[in-house]
Amino acid sequence: MFGAPQPVTASSTPLVPLPRRPLGPSGGSGQVRRWYENELGWPTVPGDPLRLLVGVRYDVLDVPAEAGHAALRRLASGSPVALRGGRMLLLVSAGSAEELPGLLEWLDWGALALDLVAIGAGGLMEAPSPPVPHGERAVPHGQGRVPPARGSRPAAPCEAGGPPAPWGRVGSQGAAVWLRPPEPGCEVEASLPTLSALGGGGDTPDLVRLVNTVATQCHRVRLRRACAQPPAMRAQGR
């Protein structure tokens, strides 16, 4: 009555749809990658999640957030700073990671175990979500971006003012976000702490003072945590 069954051919529509790449902020990680590579000129590496190649334009000091907050005054206003969980990522001049061990020795911090990690040439850093332009508001991942109100003026590169809110801050689960985002159109190197600024009279931040401040705060955090432990655990850690 219904006739013979028809054979399934290669052109038949599959019953199970093909897998789709998950969407990231504002339609995928490709836009985020273009922002870093085209707007900032920062190299990235293939893969997901998106990661930045360290040691080309900058190095990174990875410190406890509490210690990093105490050192913010040692940074220029345009020096990028990121947060990831309980850690702060301070961008410093390229080559600083190689100088850090000797610098800590010179500052008499070399004999102590400090929660201070330097990421240099060949290292990777998780790419924080780009900041939302002025006039837009942050929304959860995958829901696109809210356009600016009619008649609003977009912010110019390097324009003064408070940092815009980053994508993903709503409901973030430890993902990296910008505390002080980089500004497209600005050369990041000019704002980064460098060893060559020691004793100089310019506006370039001094890497020596930054490292000394961070090391001091890391040591204080370590002592405070040790004092908070029960006596038995303190004895085991000696």
At 44-91, the pLDDT tens digits run 999 999 999 999 999 999 999 999 999 998 899 889 999 999 999 999
Q: Say what the pLDDT of residue 196 is.
A: 80
Side-chain-side CA neighbours of 78 within 13 Å: the count stands at 16
What whole-number distance in Å separates Cα of residue 59 and Cα of residue 61?
7
Computed over every residue of the chain, the mean pLDDT equals: 75
CB–CB of 60/91 below 8 Å? yes
70 close to 87: Cβ distance less than 8 angstroms: no
Q: What is the pLDDT of residue 207?
A: 94
Q: Quick one: which of 97, 138, 139 has its CA closest to 116?
A: 97
From residue 224, alpha-carbon distances to 36, 85, 106, 177, 219 in Å are 38, 20, 25, 27, 9
The H or E element that residue 153 is part of is none
CA count, 13 A, side-chain hemisphere, 32: 31
Identify whether the C-beta of residue 103 lies closer than 8 Å to the C-beta of residue 211: yes
Whether the pLDDT of residue 12 is over 90: the answer is: no
Tokens representing 116?
A: 């201070």
| CA angle 226–231–237, rounded 5-degree value | 55
53 closest CA partner among 147, 134, 126, 138: 126
Q: What is the pTM of this model?
A: 0.69
Percentage of the chain lying above the pLDDT 70 cut: 63
Say how far apart CA 213 and CA 170 lie, in whole Å: 31
pLDDT of residue 228: 73
